[in-house]
Amino acid sequence: MRNLIIALSMAATTLLSAVEELPSLSVRGYAVLSQPADQLNISLGVVSQGKNAKEALLKNNTQMNQLIKALENSGLGENNYQTGDFSINPLYSPRPRDAASDWSPEIIGFEVRNSLDVTTDQIDKAGTFIDAAASAGANSINHIQFQISDPQKHRDALIRAATKNAIEDAKSLSQAADVQLIKITAISMTARKLERRGSS
């Protein structure tokens, strides 16, 4: 299982009471959430070559259909994948060592690249899907991501916790310095997501 760690920091600037001027106190509060990943995202690629564009495209379509069939046979639903990037490009002859000054490359074939983006909550079957894809002709894996399907519902709790921590730190500092807090004058926020492998 993978756990996603979402870290959020809240910086608050608070005015302190003084006779002649109002100095400020800056504090930073942190909050961390460790949440088990509940969504898997894989981008699989099929690269095919042929003597002409038609041949390369036909090969790619055949491999892509085999890939989709293999994934569905492994338990993936048809609503859990969609086609991604697609490109078709000519292949040129390599430049020989003793090439003449007027040498120019020739088109010797075509290459088709097609990708399939998979998103599913069956995160425990990541290895199964990858093995099935490789056996069916997928010859590239662009990325594998374990993520949280709805991170927004955890964001509000993190914001509240980080803000509370910053305010508590400001209170402790003001008490230690024997000054009085007046009000919060500025708040800024930064958030980042880390991934770590948890125990299975």
Determine the average pLDDT of the residues in 76-94. Answer: 94
Residue ranges of domains in the chain, CATH in brackets: 2-36+150-197 (no CATH), 39-97+104-147 (3.30.70.2970)
Higher pLDDT, 36 or 3: 36
Res. 56: pLDDT tops 90 = yes
What pLDDT sits at residue 162? 83
Side by side, the strands of the sheet bearing 81-92 are 81-92, 107-120, 39-50, 140-147
From 38-52, 87-101, 180-194, the region with the lowest mean pLDDT = 180-194
Task: Decide if 4 contacts 147 (C-beta within 8 A).
Answer: yes
Q: What's the pLDDT tens digit per position in 25-39?
A: 787 777 777 778 899
Whether residue 4 is predicted with pLDDT greater than 60 in this model: the reply is: no
Q: How confident is the model at residue 166 (pLDDT cuts 50, 70, 90)?
A: confident
Cβ distance 42 to 125 under 8 Å?
no
